[in-house]
Amino acid sequence: MTSDLFVSFLDLMNETLAAAIVIVAASLLLYTITRNAHDRVARASAMVLFAVTTAYVCDVLTGLRPTDEAVLRLLRAQWLGIALAPAALVHLSDALLDTTGLPSRGRRSRTLRLMYLIGTAFVIAAMFSDILVGPIESAGRPALRAMPLMAVFAAYTVVASGFALINVERARRRCLTRSTRRRMGYLEIALLTPIVGVFPFSAFFAPGGEFTTGALVLVIIANIFVVLMLLFLAYPLSFFGSRIPTAPSKPTCCAWCCAAQPPAC
């Protein structure tokens, strides 16, 4: 009985953290698209935040205990964010590299378009077939489990993450001032947070494995990390491409994140 109560508490805490991630990611998304929509870095950041928000919104909605059919639809819709996150991350890293005076000569742009096409193909495969993920019943709840194509998606995610890290490291080395290099270093540290947050690790668990105490504790730790790193990412991203001077830029971004609404002019 005590064990069941503890698991229920962990499950509730996990749902609360998922809701917090939605609030933070959606707030940052709104801040980005309303303040710096003209800038390529801001647009790429918005794509990353859109992927995170979409994945976690579906996660929160499944916690409302809808019908089994609705849960499966939400789990499949979640792949809109999951599958596009790797391409969005490469998009962001390419935009950051562009700000250092190294625009694409065509090859990086073609690669980015190809990655978005691959991501879209994964979205279609997840939402309308069972070749990427398939439905099962896990601890009395509907869930999706990895199918043969999941190994390809995992490899695609690893390759995309590697490309993104390489691009940001190249951008960091090309920065001319110490402060810009430091902010680019912050981005490099937290860059993979969105991928870690949305990747469907539970698809590889045995049925019911995601509801064990150990699994829930790990998910809670990961969600806390995602919240903190999203806020950490917001700090350096608020500077790149912004027309607002450095001094007022940081408090403006922080005010938006805390209030989840535009600050007064």
pLDDT given for residue 143 in this prediction: 87
Check residue 50 and give left, alpha or beta (phi > 0: left; psi -120 to 50: alpha). Answer: alpha
pLDDT band at 153 (very low <50, low <70, confident <90, very high): very high
The sign of the torsion formed by the CA atoms of 193, 197, 200, 204 equals: positive
The per-residue pLDDT for range 10-56, each reduced to its tens digit, is 888 888 999 999 999 999 898 888 877 778 888 899 999 999 999 99
| pLDDT of the residue at 265 | 38
More confident residue, 209 or 33: 33
Q: Is 136 helix (H, G, I), strand (E, B) or coil?
A: strand
Q: What is the mean pLDDT of residues 97-102?
A: 86
Q: Using one digit for the tens of pLDDT, what is the confidence trace for 213-241?
A: 777 888 888 889 898 888 888 777 777 75
Task: List the beta bridge partners of residue 170.
Answer: none
CB hemisphere CA count around 238 (13 angstroms): 24
Rounded to a whole number, what is the largest CA-CA distance in the chain? 63
Could you tell me the two tokens for 131? 């070749």
φ, ψ for residue 230 (rounded to 5)? -65, -45
Q: Which residues, in sequence order, are bridge partners of residue 135?
A: 144
Q: What does 68-100 look like in DSSP terms, one character per residue?
A: HHHHHHHHHHTHHHHHHHHHHHHHHHHHHHHHT
What's the CA gap between 149 and 130, in Å, rounded?
A: 9
Nearest by Cα to 102 from 170, 40, 45? 170
Q: 181: buried, middle or exposed (CB in 10 Å: 19+, 13-18, 0-12)?
A: middle
What's the CATH architecture for 2-259? Up-down Bundle (1.20)
Q: Which helix (H) or strand (E) holds 15?
A: helix 2-35
- DSSP label of 204: G
pLDDT digits (tens, 9 = 90+) for 101-137: 887 778 888 999 999 999 999 999 999 999 999 998 8
